[in-house]
């Protein structure tokens, strides 16, 4: 089961699949670009996901747009 911290609800992992999304970074964020293997909180779904691949990138003006492939995670690993 996955746990949504915002709604305090649990969801079956089968309800979530590997997804793709683009994230736009402004020039001052270029040093903070997420990398493969990193865990990030997906505010749209309210769950943690792990970056499985960087599928591409392009510039829109001065901003960098990175296309990622994400996979939901059951729980975050201990540090």
CB atoms within 10 A of CB 47: 21
Check pLDDT > 70 for residue 68. Answer: yes
User: Residue 37: helix, strand or coil by DSSP?
Assistant: coil
Of the candidates 56, 74, 60, the residue with the CA atom closest to the CA atom of residue 12: 74
d(CA 65, CA 50): 18
Q: Which residue has the higher pLDDT, 68 or 16?
A: 68
Output the six-digit token pair for 57: 């990138």
Q: Which residue has the higher pLDDT, 58 or 1?
A: 58
Mean pLDDT, the chain, rounded, equals 84
Q: Which residue has the higher pLDDT, 41 or 24?
A: 24
Dihedral in degrees, nearest 10, Cα atoms 48, 50, 55, 56: 70
């Amino acid at each position: 089961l996955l746990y949504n911290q915002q709604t305090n609800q649990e969801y079956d992992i089968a309800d979530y699949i590997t997804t793709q999304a683009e994230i736009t970074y402004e020039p001052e964020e270029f040093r903070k670009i997420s990398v493969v293997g990193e865990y990030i909180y997906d505010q749209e779904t309210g769950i943690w996901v792990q970056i499985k691949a960087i599928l591409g990138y392009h510039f829109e003006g001065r901003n960098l747009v990175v296309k990622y492939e994400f996979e939901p995670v059951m729980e975050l690993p201990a540090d």
